[in-house]
Amino acid sequence: MRSTPSNEIIIAADLGTQKMAVAVAEMAGDGSLTLLGVGESTSAGMRKAEVTDFGHARAAARMALADAERRTQAEISEVYLTMSGTHLASRNESVRVATSSDDEHRVTEGTLDELHQLAAHLPLPRDHAILHELLRGYSLDRGVASVNPLGVHTEQIEAHYHLVTGKRTRLQTGVQCVADQKIRVKGCTFSSYASGLAVLTDEGKQRGAVVIDLGAGVTDVSVWRDGAVVHSCVHGVGGDHLSQDLSIGLEIPYARAEKLKREMGTLALAPEEVDEKITLPREISFDGRTFYKEAMVQVLQARMAEILELVRDDVEAQGLWSAVETEVVVTG
């Protein structure tokens, strides 16, 4: 399948701790997307959303890309790549310039480009690179806020950005897992930012919302307010920890715990389920196990409460919890 002038093919890849996925979509002239298919492979060489064995991770990424091509008949040459990992950090910054009297102190495209260049070249730790400069808004003379100041008269203009940075070598390693002579990585994005664009309503982005992207190895978080991201972070705990807890708490093999979580996992029980039992059949090197469903729920509740408390404490430490007026969305 090849793109036409009115229909462009967009490919996005996610290199996860447990699964690698490649989504292929067709973008119409109005910007709407139609999902054509998803290719997948079991992850290898990954831990907590970071590459630990390049050869195995690259091979798994190749399998997911090939699966996507096979399922959609698309010829993949460019890919957008999501990024995660506890090496990512974020901060809010502001940059300011004076407008030119030659333009009657009017804000021009050149003014906005100058602000963006200043943000893109802000000082960073030596081993870090910028993943995102996400615009939060502008301030004009006397602190007047503006979303689109183009053409406005002002002597000074200040742009407010949310920067997401990561260790340069780890970002490069992720890119090289996908890129080769055939495929170019066209852009990278923080996982929770992409999730927020997908799952939040316009009202949520504007009035305040938290997106919790629960992966296998890490939990990505983004906080939105006034239509933009104001905070983001990565916690080194995820769905794998739920499986580990089930394995230990219920005294069952990890593989059985993972399967149990996926097929029967829940955080709430109906009254009639309180006395319900779950029986896992005997297998090679496993004698089988019977336990109350409530025991499984209690294990999952304890770990999920810990993850949600980590997120809440972090958002509170940033002074942003009061800004969350609409929703907390858990995805992943």
pLDDT by residue (tens digit) across 160-191?
999 999 999 999 999 999 998 789 999 999 99
The pLDDT mean for the chain works out to 92
Is 275 buried (19+), middle (13-18) or exposed (0-12) by CB count in 10 A? exposed
Every domain of the chain with CATH number 3.30.1490.110 lies at: 89-168
Tell me the pLDDT tens digit for each residue of 38-75: 999 999 999 999 999 999 999 999 999 999 999 999 99
What is the topology classification, in CATH, of domain 200-332? Answer: Nucleotidyltransferase; domain 5 (3.30.420)
Q: Is the pLDDT of residue 4 over 60?
A: no
Mean local confidence (pLDDT), 235-243 = 95
Q: Collapse the DSSP code of 167 into the 3-class scheme (helix H, G, I; strand E, B; otherwise coil) and give the result.
A: strand
Total residues found in the chain within this entry: 332
Tell me the pLDDT tens digit for each residue of 131-160: 999 999 999 987 788 888 999 999 999 999
> 8-86+169-199: CATH homologous superfamily?
ATPase, nucleotide binding domain (3.30.420.40)
Every domain of the chain with CATH number 3.30.420.40 lies at: 8-86+169-199, 200-332
What is the topology classification, in CATH, of domain 89-168? Answer: Dna Ligase; domain 1 (3.30.1490)
Helix, strand, coil percentages for the chain (3-state, nearest 5): 35, 35, 30
